[in-house]
Structure 1
């Protein structure tokens, strides 16, 4: 005699498709997010993002910054917005790609915005919080980096996409840029520049730099655009024996994000496994399809070869729900 199970029971017993499993890509599906920046604190990974709210016909509309947390890379907890653009009283618009780091027992967020008319162009502010989930407040009351500090640049939006990295000797560095890539040492107070601003632009650099270190090798990963061959950004990287260089170009790490002109890397080691976070434009929310100003954050495994070079990453729907490489 064969028993017939109700349809609901059969559906409940069926395994989730790879694209629907918790932790598959895109990671967050109730709103549009971009520019992922991971931070590991103890047994928790915090993922900071920008927040796309562009209407049809808009390129970008970004007013605040968000954060999620996870302990297993599968299940994510959403937290309230960590800061609004208007919390920087000197900023006018464009809450773009941030990074948060921990130092001196506090959490420091470096955020690019459009400065008001007193210093036209993009600028980078600093905010601080006592907890990784915020709330963050303006730590300086003015821009850390403004467009007048990089006068050799070719356009007014070059001072964006900060990445911040603390080296083994305790010094903290900030790199940033669009088409030109700059690096400088931060002061011990975390709200000042201590020394010269140096240009370190690698081949095909477009924006979105990310600094990290593994063993004795430093990595500068970034959104690249070979304007002679590609129409969308990809991820490329360079390595160096010291944070000050010299930087050696290592080629492309990933292709472009599906449906997206932009892409933005964030890299972290969490519980013994390396990950790279990216974004694409595959998500639809409340009938709105992904676009240049409506992107979605993703995650993939990251691996290295015997020489410390990063193995090429294939972007997938399964993401980290698949077995690691």
Structure 2
């Protein structure tokens, strides 16, 4: 959960005045193909009955660790197209929500162990989507919250591992571990400190098993200089532990503009032997992070090959659920205004050129790490895409910036860019991503006017029948 310092009053840095010098593909190379089209951190992925569930901290709400975005659960059938609907807690939830754990199913309920207002807390739900409540059925609020019964001394970032015999183990920050009782609501023994090879502050732990070997992953450092290390045990989830020769498996790669591979998770999909590492990246500084997925591979002795970090994404790892072409991809896009570029302030790598641009083309480039943002002074922000020629469309998807706060908008279509007709009209802010509108029309232009919510788009997609088929 550690975050770096940023310029006072911002989450990004200082205004950049040299945007003309940036190459055309700058944003794609710098921010790349994030897994989720939003600012999230501390991801935990669960694969349940053919659906991937991503539990994560909602970033991008300003004021660093003094706040967080509300809790949501992103889901995907193919690991490529992600969505969520509504919050995962009742609407009276009022705590800071950080670092939710992977979901655990026990006794007919789904358990999660997020850090709420800085303390590990157990919550339960009848569905992996929530709504999550206290184990006694109460809503979880500042007035009713009951932290997990362990020593809450810088205790954050809990993860729970279930061994083959059904015994549950919890790991949390600063290398701590303990067995859990069968109901998962209290410790079943003493808290131990895992004797790792590397010392220093550590968070973002993860405990798992592969081929008879238990793996304990832990972070070192933070911000721009996060590293991930691991230990192995061939005996039990509590050791004895051994350090492989090459125990650091992920670190910053400034040459590739990848900084701070921090708090993440390690998993393999059901029925697959391929493992993946999903990590948070430094982003724009402060709590403006995004998450990325890469493949990870093992040596014959069970040790892990050093992970080559990229921002390319891994694509669909099950059958792609979207069978139609995105007609808006790389089309000409315009907008009412564009926010000035921002140069991210870096402390460890001050000479590294990391600038975020906000041009309208970012919303049709197919990358979840780039976005269009209207100028802060724009009172009537709109975004328009030209499909190049009249196309038969059937559906649109708008991935707004800061979707957990909700958006209201109007979407219009036109054949000539002059006479406009309503395609979708939503006067009340709705909390979801993406926002979908469905109607079969033949159009060339689409214009989205934002009525409520942050004026920006990660992606705007248009689906229909390709021109050559009619």
The answer for the alignment partner of 2:43 in structure 1 is: 36
Given candidates 76, 86, 97, the residue that maps to 2:82 is 76
Q: Distance in 2 between matches of 1:197 and 1:318?
A: 40
Say whether residues 1:232 and 2:222 are aligned partners. no
Say whether residues 1:137 and 2:130 are aligned partners. no
The answer for the alignment partner of 2:189 in structure 1 is: 195
Q: Which 4+ stretches in 1 moved above 6 angstroms?
A: none
Q: Deviations over 1:161-200 (max 9, x none)?
A: 00100000001110101xx211111111111111111111
Q: Distance in 1 between matches of 2:217 and 2:275?
A: 14
- Displacement after TM superposition at 1:35 (Å): 0.5
RMSD: 2.7
Q: Classify 1:58/1:144 alpha carbon distance in 2 versus 1 (closer, same or farther; 3 Å).
A: closer
> Are the counterparts in 2 of residues 102 and 108 from structure 1 also a CA contact under 8 Å?
yes
- Displacement after TM superposition at 1:95 (Å): 1.7
> Are the counterparts in 2 of residues 239 and 247 from structure 1 also a CA contact under 8 Å?
yes
Q: Deviations over 1:63-101 (max 9, x none)?
A: 43222122222222223221379648xxxx532111122
The answer for the alignment partner of 1:105 in structure 2 is: 108
> Are the counterparts in 2 of residues 223 and 265 from structure 1 also a CA contact under 8 Å?
no
Q: Classify 1:175/1:58 alpha carbon distance in 2 versus 1 (closer, same or farther; 3 Å).
A: closer
Q: Distance in 1 between matches of 2:252 and 2:307?
A: 11
Say whether residues 1:26 and 2:34 are aligned partners. yes
Q: Distance in 1 between matches of 2:162 and 2:68?
A: 28
The answer for the alignment partner of 1:49 in structure 2 is: 56
* Gap regions ≥5 residues in structure 2: 1-24, 137-144, 318-470
Q: Which has the larger radius of gyration?
A: 2
Instruction: Report the 3-state secondary structure (helix = DSSP H, G, I; strand = E; otherwise coil) of the residue aligned with 1:246.
Output: coil
> Are the counterparts in 2 of residues 166 and 173 from structure 1 also a CA contact under 8 Å?
yes
TM-score (norm 1): 0.75
> Are the counterparts in 2 of residues 260 and 292 from structure 1 also a CA contact under 8 Å?
no
Q: Classify 1:44/1:231 alpha carbon distance in 2 versus 1 (closer, same or farther; 3 Å).
A: closer
The answer for the alignment partner of 1:256 in structure 2 is: 252
Given candidates 298, 306, 323, the residue that maps to 2:292 is 298
Q: Distance in 1 between matches of 2:195 and 2:87?
A: 33
Q: Deviations over 1:182-235 (max 9, x none)?
A: 11111111111111111115223511000110011000112123x9xx961111
Q: Deviations over 1:220-276 (max 9, x none)?
A: 112123x9xx96111111111211111222311111385655711211111402111
TM-score (norm 2): 0.53
Instruction: Report the 3-state secondary structure (helix = DSSP H, G, I; strand = E; otherwise coil) of the residue aligned with 2:238.
Output: coil
> Are the counterparts in 1 of residues 228 and 261 from structure 2 also a CA contact under 8 Å?
no
Instruction: Report the 3-state secondary structure (helix = DSSP H, G, I; strand = E; otherwise coil) of the residue aligned with 1:137.
Output: coil
The answer for the alignment partner of 1:321 in structure 2 is: 315
Q: Classify 1:207/1:308 alpha carbon distance in 2 versus 1 (closer, same or farther; 3 Å).
A: same
Q: Distance in 1 between matches of 2:252 and 2:230?
A: 14
* Gap regions ≥5 residues in structure 1: 1-16, 115-121, 151-155, 283-289
Q: 212-221 vs 199-208, which deviates more?
A: 199-208
Q: Classify 1:317/1:166 alpha carbon distance in 2 versus 1 (closer, same or farther; 3 Å).
A: same
Q: Distance in 2 between matches of 1:291 and 1:224?
A: 18
